[in-house]
Structure 1
Amino acid sequence: MSILKRIQDIVLANVNEVLDKIENPVCMVKHYIREMENEILQAEKALSRQMVIKKKHEMLIEETEAAIAKRDRQAKLAVETGEDHIAKLALQDKLLLEKKLEEYRKQHETIKQQTVSLGDQVKKMKEKHRELKNRQLVLLSRANAAQSMKKLQSFLSTVDAESVTKEFARLEERVLMMEIEANARRGTQGIDLGIESRFAEQAIQDEVEKELEKLKAKQAVSENKQ
């Protein structure tokens, strides 16, 4: 094999290994979940800003309605006092405010719809996120089981079952011999103790006989003197 061919094979092997890692389903799911969590975070920030804008428009509408009511009272008061010029100015301002109010209300309706839509999107994204998290647990369990099975199959394929069986048989035979030796040693110790005990008893009996003979001899001497 040429050097260039070997280099090509090594490069291809490394590329395939990298691709396998990239296509790891557990890693891919984690990547998708991280992306979704980031999207949810951004969507929640946008929803928060939208709620602030909606609240500001509601306050603007309330302020404009209050200003219209005020101009209306001013116009009526000017008419009552015969100040038509002031009444016209108040009415003119009132009409401008009413046009602004109409525009504010249209904007508020649009903002409200956008807020509801964005809130629904955030809710759906969170539900999808929970679903993916649950599926991730299942996928992780399946991947671990598959990996364990793969390792087990790889181990079994490299193990010579016949050699292992013979080795176990040899070990069992060795343990059996060890047990036999231990039992034999224990039995021998028992026999030795029995022999020693008998010898000790015989020695005592011999001493007793000797003492008895001494007593008899003394008794005989005493009787002869009498």
Structure 2
Amino acid sequence: MNSLWNRFKYSVQADLHMLFDKKENKNPIAMLNQYIREAEKQTDSIGKLLERQSKLKTELQKELKEAENMADKRRSQLELAQAAGEEDLVTFAQDEIAAYETRAAELAESVTETAYELVSLERKFEEMKHKVKDMKVRQLQLMGKENVTRAHHRMDQVISPENGDSQMGTIGDMKKYIESLGSKIDREYETSSMERRLDSLEKVDNTTTNLEKTPAKEAEIV
């Protein structure tokens, strides 16, 4: 019967622990933990996007440099074609120069725009990282307060369980119980001691009585 009761008790306790765990998952600290994890994931993702944006800016600058170099090269070739009287080459060089200059102008604008956007994103990214760091600091502060609150609550359960649901006695009650138990043991010891002394007296008395009766019997026989 006791074994069955213990299994039932432990089963109920396990169910209660699961219930408390579920409730704790909904508390502010658990929610903050989840939010911080998501923010850290977003931070990593945005960091990769910024890295990609920086590489795109580098590629645009590379293309710009190449377009400017080709435009300069075609200008030199245009002078040679004009000096040689090669009209078809002159026309080709002129078209090439126009194409490269147009491309260079577009690329220069893109590089400027990309550089501005990248600086803006980096500043916002740094702000985001600071916010995440501040949340982590706040997380530590809340965890500290939660630990203090739990510690106070558990100590209060021992010191003053009448204010809560604890079945434990107060320290004062436990002290009284120990003193009462000690007094009971002392009384039982004193009682046992008294009984032993009475038993000893009774044995002495019986011995004396027997000794007194023995001579009388011998006289009758004589």
Correspondence for 1:169 among 170, 179, 190: 179
Structure 1 contact 61–105 (Cα < 8 Å) conserved: yes
In the alignment, structure 1 residue 66 sits paired with structure 2 residue 78: no
Instruction: State the match for 2:93 in structure 1.
Output: 90
Partner residue, 1:38: 41
Residue of 19, 23, 30 corresponding to 1:20 = 23
| Structure whose alpha-carbon radius of gyration is higher | 1
Q: AA paired with 2:95?
A: Q
Confirm whether residue 149 of structure 1 aligns to residue 159 of structure 2.
Answer: no
Instruction: Please state how far the C-alpha of 1:78 moved relative to its aligned partner.
Output: 1.0
State the structure with bigger RCO (CA 8 A, min sep 6), 1 or 2. 1
Q: Which one is further off, 85-94 or 54-63?
A: 85-94
Decide whether the 8 Å contact of 1:61 with 1:104 is kept in 2: yes
Q: Structure 1 residues 47 and 162, CA, compared in 2 at 3 Å: closer, same or farther?
A: closer
Determine if the alignment matches structure 1 residue 139 to structure 2 residue 169: no
Residue of structure 1 in register with 2:125 after alignment: 122
Which structure 1 residue ranges, 5 or more long, are not aligned?
A: 1-12, 177-226
Matches of 2:184 and 2:141, distance apart in 1: 47
Q: Give, in whole Å, the separation in 1 of the partners of 2:151 and 2:170.
A: 20
Structure 1 runs, 4 residues or longer, greater than 6 Å off: 171-176
2:200 is matched with none
Count of equivalent residues: 163
- Letter of the 2:102 counterpart: K
- In structure 1, distance between residues paired with 2:173 and 2:103: 94
Cα–Cα, structure 1 residues 151 and 162, in superposed 2: closer, same or farther, change >3 Å? closer
TM-score (normalizing by structure 2): 0.65
Q: Deviations over 1:53-87 (max 9, x none)?
A: 11100000000000000010010111112223211
What is the CA–CA distance in structure 2 between the aligned matches of 1:125 and 1:107, rounded to whole Å? 26
Task: Please give the root-mean-square deviation of Cα atoms over the aligned residues, in Å.
Answer: 2.8
Give the secondary-structure state (helix, strand or coil) at the position aligned to 1:105. helix
Identity between Structure 1 and Structure 2 (%): 24
TM-score scaled by length of structure 1: 0.64
Relative distance call for 1:175 and 1:69 in structure 2 (3 A) is farther
**Structure 2 unmatched runs, 5+:** 1-15, 187-222
**Larger deviation: 156-165 or 27-36?**
156-165
